[in-house]
Amino acid sequence: MMVVMPSLTRAEATARAATVDVHEYEIDLDLTAEGDTFGARTVVRFSTRPGASTFLEFEPVSVASITLNGAPVPAAAMDGERLHLSDLAEHNELAVDAVMRYSNDGEGLHKYVDPADGSTYLYQHMFINNAGRILPSFDQPDMKASFKVSVTAPGGWLVAANGPLVTGREGRWEFAPTKPISTYLCSLIAGPYHSVTSEHDGIPLALYARKALAEPLEAEAPEIFEVTRQCLDRFHEIFHIRYPFGHYQQAFAPEFNFGAMEYPGLVVFRDEFIYRSAVTESEREHRANVIAHEMAHMWFGDLVTMAWWDDLWLNESFAEYLGTRIASEATRFPDTWTTFAMQRKAWGLRADQHPSTHPVAPAEVTDTDQALLNFDGISYAKGAAVLKQLVAWVGDEAFLAGVNAHFEAHAYGNATLADLLGALSAASGRDLTTWADVWLRRAQVNTLRTEAVREGRAYASVAVLQTAPEQYPTLRPHKVGLGLYDRSADGAVVLRKRVEIEVQATGRTEVPELAGEPVADLLLLNDGDLTYAKIRLDEESTAAVPALLPLIDDSLARAVLWASTLDAVVDGERPVAELVTLVLAALPVESEVVVVEDVLRATRTLVDRYSTPETRPAALELVAQAADRLLAVSEAGGSRQLAAARGLIGATVDVKRLAGWLEGREVPDGLAIDADLRWLIVYRLTVLGAADTAMIDAEFERDRSTTGEQWAARARAARPDAEAKAAAWESIIGDTKLSNRLVEMTASGFWHAEQLDLIRPYVARYFADMPEMMRVRSGMSAEKTATYAFPAIMVEADTRRLAAELLASDDLDPILRRVVQDADDDLRRALAARF
């Protein structure tokens, strides 16, 4: 049974920060022993008022000694996962010698054995409330300290940490103390990592990946370093304080829970970003965006850190906004805002409409459990969209001036929403109190619609109508663009005129600039994607979208139209059959790869959930046809070809064609059937009942890698076989030896619309068994597993009834409650759309 660190409440954190001033941690880890434990000796130096009491988070397997100011600490001081100290001196030194346990859930000190060669790799992830799994600590963001790390490791290993390396000889690695950082930002990696080094503008650069990825790391290093240099240069142009943490290392670690994490001096990414197979340009753009996002955290989050988790947006919203912006301005990927409009903003809109919605900057986050739940599309994407709106409102010069003043005032310390708003208000000369109240302190999203009254061939009037949900009636000021698009003589659709207006926080805003203008073939609301809102066009423009969408040159305008269309289908305002028809008509001529990928992915999901079992096969066939048409006209070896092939594989039921591709028959020119595409084909064949265990095992022997291991787990769970489903379910629920990623992949492969009769019994089992899963897993991996394992394709009233019964439980794990609550809301929408 896993012991989960108790949640730290804000009240406890506030009281502790008022009592204790922590200065330094000295950590000495011994990683040489075999098995599932490691040695950790820690010295914590802190000050307080004489006679005070406090506690540290600490979760040891066993303790050899604990001393406070040279005197032994009684065993009774350990209470669960907290070490209580009393009768403290003004200046204190706590020394602890303990044995700690490795994890396999991506938290604490995660241990991974590579199936390719049996090598062991470690990475440290103390995120939110997991520092106690490695050392006794004051684990909250506003108690910053210097970390001095030493490691004894097996011969042949490489160790890297936040601080610069002082010595690394004969298995002994010692690092210089860091600048003051929060506990959740302290990290290291250890193992036989392969490294590539460089330097830029006086900053040492390094990349690390498993030695099994040495060849692809060497191949990808030039592009990763180029993006890193470009982003560093751009941040140095806009920020007055240079990169503040010495070296800039980027490690690519196996089974990392996040896409990446902003540890100062040692950013850690999931190692899927080291591409071993062909990828699309949009995937390379995504990696550049993540690099820029994590680099933005060096200022927003690391240099200046939120005081408590209610200001998470000061970290994530700013990094999301700046990552997209800097990647667009500094790298070879100028269209990142198109990706943001298609993918990230849609993520925010969906999260904002779920029952679990919350403000970007909530007034209260009561504990660390609630803090974890707020790492969602609201804190990231909605917050970034709101910031984009703020920059458009106050102007970029004032925005950057306020940000730089904020850094200078709080460097190496902590800050709050009020601190930042004060700096931005002073720089812009605008009182941001009202703006912050409606955009940051209030939840949910507005809907903006155009109302166009025609008088002959001209507009008599144009207005923007704003509405809000009944439960969240806030109307907001919006800066939006309205674009008039016309079909030209050569058939293209071009922008004739664009106006930007400020939509008032009322129900109706007139647009006098468009009165008397000739009627456009398409009147696009939110042209330029300036605001965060649900967008609905006037009836005539909506009707014109299928004919005009493929002919618009501006990729961002197309993204706004696609996103609005997909959102209307999700809301049940337009039928999924209409979406499929649009996909068949417009997608084969779409040039923006991210639009192709996102539309195919979203449409595939909507077809599975919004179509009835009777209409689904025909709808899926049209999606396959759209992908096939795109495949036929795409450049050989290009990104569109790969995106189209992936879409076709996921939608087709042509077993013979897929099997032929595996064998090298009738493969489109330029399409590489490499390791990852082979797995995608094997997986689809498995779902369709055309691949058995022997085929999956043979493919794993062919690709005995980390990725191959994960694909094999997913494919085994996808088999349309009662025994395979039973085995997969037991792994999901209670196999604690299975690592985080393998459990998640097993859960993601379980449910398929092609297998409804076989998997129906597991609907009830989800609601009966998932609470037990939450007792043996924790944190982000538990959340992902619960989400993937939810029976989302079982769009039936009985599924909702079972969800309601589980949600009625008083003692339901808060992570599971949120997952089920939001997934049930998605079921509600799908059921309504079907009838």
| Residues with a known catalytic role | 294
Task: Give the torsion sign (CA, 424, 430, 436, 437).
Answer: positive
Q: Which two tokens stand for residue 245?
A: 């943490």
What is the gyration radius of the CA atoms in the chain, in angstroms?
Answer: 27
Residue of 639, 660, 638 whose CA lies nearest to 649: 660
Give DSSP secondary structure letters for 450-493.
EEEEEETTEEEEEEEEEE--TTS-----EEEEEEEEEE-TTS-E
Pairwise CA distance, residues 681 & 143, whole Å: 50
Residue of 194, 189, 193, 206 whose CA lies nearest to 247: 206
Pairwise CA distance, residues 679 & 661, whole Å: 12
Q: Are 551 and 413 in contact (CB under 8 A)?
A: no
Pairwise CA distance, residues 709 & 704, whole Å: 7
266 - beta bridge partners? Answer: 249
Q: Please give the single-letter amino acid code of residue 452.
A: A
Pairwise CA distance, residues 307 & 778, whole Å: 24
Question: CB pairs under 8 A, 24+ apart, for 786-789?
Answer: 786/815, 786/816, 786/819, 786/820, 787/819, 787/823, 788/744, 788/747, 788/748, 788/750, 789/732, 789/747, 789/750, 789/751
Q: How many residues does the chain have?
A: 835
Q: Are 786 and 774 in contact (CB under 8 A)?
A: yes
Phi, psi of 361 (to 5 degrees): -120, 85
Q: Which two tokens stand for residue 335?
A: 């269209």
From residue 191, give the alpha-carbon distance in Å to each of 121, 124, 432: 5, 12, 49
Q: Are 277 and 680 in contact (CB under 8 A)?
A: no
